[in-house]
Amino acid sequence: MMQLCGTDTIELEVNGEKRKVTVRAADTLLHTLREKLGLTGAKPGCENGDCGACTVLLDGWPIKSCLMLAAEAVGHSITTIEGLKNAPMQKAFFENWGFQCGFCTSGFIMTCHALATIHPGADDDTMADWLQSNICRCTSYEEIQNAVKQVLGKGDSSGVQGVVSMKEK
Amino acid sequence: MIPFDFDYYKPDTLLEAIDLFQDLSEQGKMPMYYGGGTEIISMARANSIYTGAVIDIKGIPECCEFGFSGSNLVIGSAITLTKIVESGLFPMLGITIGRIADHTIQGKITLGGNLAGTVIYRESVLPLLISESQVVIAGNYGTRQAPISELFDGRMRREPGELIVKLIIDSTYTNLPFFHRKTTKIDKIDYPLVTVVAMKKDDRILAGFSGLCDHPFRSIEMEDSLNEKGLTREVRIKNAMSHIPAPVQEDIHGSGNYRRFVLNNILMDVLKM
Ligand SMILES: Cc1cc2nc3c(=O)[nH]c(=O)nc-3n(C[C@H](O)[C@H](O)[C@H](O)COP(=O)(O)OP(=O)(O)OC[C@H]3O[C@@H](n4cnc5c(N)ncnc54)[C@H](O)[C@@H]3O)c2cc1C
Ligand code: FES
Ligand code: FES
């Protein structure tokens, strides 16, 4: 049985690297990534599951890292925006002006990148369903949709280590 | 950031989890079973709950069962909403839970957590109520199985330390004609103003409701009225609405009268099934 009492050291696999990190059992993954591992791409917005600014990938699937404990991520593969190395979705956001202030951008890109990887042929309804997980206060929605449409259908599987299919999960 | 400390345990067996709950309770740790953790983390961050230890159930094989077994569909309590939606195994349940929170959070919320949570909507219970599912629960006595209608009276009735292990659904219910509508105040992603899930079995409409009262419910009296074939649709709906089992909610999502108006229109569509 895995157990973590008080403060302890765990090993996380982040962006393909094994990282040892000392956490409180009550630390969220978002806090751990930003404050302990120096990966500040995932942003703290609401910290309540509403905004999506903190989105990272867990085994290739988007999750809100503010609603996950670091301890829960042991044994899984985590991908943050820092782990996407010029993925087509990043390029498409840039080319389509899919951001203004940029605060929501990393979360949006992680959601959209996962969509293009898992459902490369996603229709408009599926795209709308996935995009509703993230909020942009600067209202870049139309440009974000254009960026996603640019990538969808072209296959986008770079950058994410091992998407675990729902059957295996 | 969560403003207090707790310990984290991830047992590998049901027995370990149940024993652990008892031990931690005796140590005064006020343990909580931990499914997706979405409610525990958000409420702990806001300091509206306290626990000294969480017991993550995602390593327990029985809680992770998912698939058809004989003539039943078995869904472990630690199965995420996304997994249920993506599987397509029970479309009525998939469509209903595909409207809980948003797509990303659905990858974290577990079926057991939505059923046992404190948020009053618990929309996943509606398809389970009308498909007359069975619930397997574990406690320090072992396990027991009961119809969900016996255990759920607005919330899941459990003794302290009891764990929801899995849901068992007769597979004949998984592909019957169904109806789902979730109405919200403004945004698509929101708690329900009114959610109605209905199904047609042997020419009878079965229906469950969330958002209407301060707890989700199925009402046999309402179903009897809706199924009274000799009457016009308007009269059947009026009669059904006279059997709403608790006061209709009045809150920021909508007044009681508005909720009744919306329900009336939804039931019109239910009767066209
Ligand atoms: C932004 C947002 C929007 C939401 N919108 C909706 C909505 O519209 N409709 C809706 O129905 N829900 C909605 N929810 C979901 C709901 O509020 C809860 O967050 C969710 O259902 C909890 O599931 P969980 O698996 O994360 O549970 P957890 O947080 O792990 O647990 C919740 C409670 O259940 C207990 N528990 C968990 N699993 C078990 C088990 N197997 N046996 C016994 N007890 C258990 C825990 O001890 C705890 O008390 C929303 C949530 C968020 C964050
Ligand atoms: S910070 Fe996680 S959803 Fe807003
Ligand atoms: S670009 Fe500013 S919040 Fe989205």
Query: In chain A, where are the structural domains located?
Result: 7-83, 88-151
Mean pLDDT of A132-159: 83
Q: Which fold, A88-151?
A: DNA polymerase; domain 1 (1.10.150)
Q: Is B27 exposed, middle or buried (0-12, 13-18, 19+ CB in 10 A)?
A: exposed
Q: Does domain B7-56 have CATH number 3.30.43?
A: yes
3-state secondary structure of A44: coil
The arrangement of secondary structure in B176-272, i.e. its CATH architecture, is 2-Layer Sandwich (3.30)
State the pTM of this model: 0.95
Phi (first) and psi of residue A33, to 5 degrees: -60, -45
pLDDT digits (tens, 9 = 90+) for A154-166: 544 444 445 565 5
Instruction: Sort strands A2-4 and B7-10 into parallel, antiparallel or unpaired.
Output: antiparallel
Q: Which fold, B61-173?
A: 3.30.465
The closest CB to that of A48, out of B2, B42, B107, belongs to: B42
CA-wise closest residue to A32 among A14, A57, A58, A59: A14
Residue with tokens 């404050």: A35
pLDDT of residue B265: 98
Q: Which DSSP category does B80 fall into?
A: B
Instruction: Sort strands B72-76 and B66-69 into parallel, antiparallel or unpaired.
Output: antiparallel
pLDDT of residue B101: 96
pLDDT of residue A139: 86
Check if A51 has its Cβ closer than 6 Å to any atom of ligand 2. Answer: yes
Query: pLDDT > 90: what percent of chain B?
Result: 98
Mean pLDDT of A26-38: 98
> Which chain B residue has its CA at the smallest distance from A31's CA?
B1
For residue A147, what pLDDT band results from cuts at 50, 70 and 90? very high
Which chain B residues touch A25 with a CB distance below 8 Å? 5-8, 54
pLDDT of residue A157: 43
Q: Chain-wide mean pLDDT for chain B? A: 97
pLDDT of residue A165: 58
pLDDT of residue B261: 98
pLDDT of residue A161: 47
CATH 3.30.43 occupies which residues in chain B?
Answer: 7-56
pLDDT of residue A155: 45
Mean pLDDT of B122-140: 98
Statement: residue A169 has pLDDT above 60:
no
Annotate B57-95 with b (16+ C-beta within 10 A) or e (fewer): bbbbebbbbbeeeeebbbbbbbbbbbbbbbbebbbbbbb
pLDDT digits (tens, 9 = 90+) for B169-179: 999 999 999 99
Residues 135-174 of B with CB under 8 A from A: none
Q: Are B65 and B166 in contact (CB under 8 A)?
A: yes
Distances in whole angstroms, Cα of residue B80 to Cα of each of A116, A136, B1, B22: 21, 26, 24, 26
Q: Are B57 and B63 in contact (CB under 8 A)?
A: yes
Question: Which superfamily is assigned to A7-83 in CATH?
Answer: Beta-grasp domain (3.10.20.30)
Q: Chain-wide mean pLDDT for chain A? A: 92
Separation CA B217–CA B126 (nearest Å)? 7
Mean pLDDT of B73-94: 97
Mean pLDDT of B62-91: 97
3-state secondary structure of B144: strand
CATH 3.30.465.10 occupies which residues in chain B?
Answer: 61-173
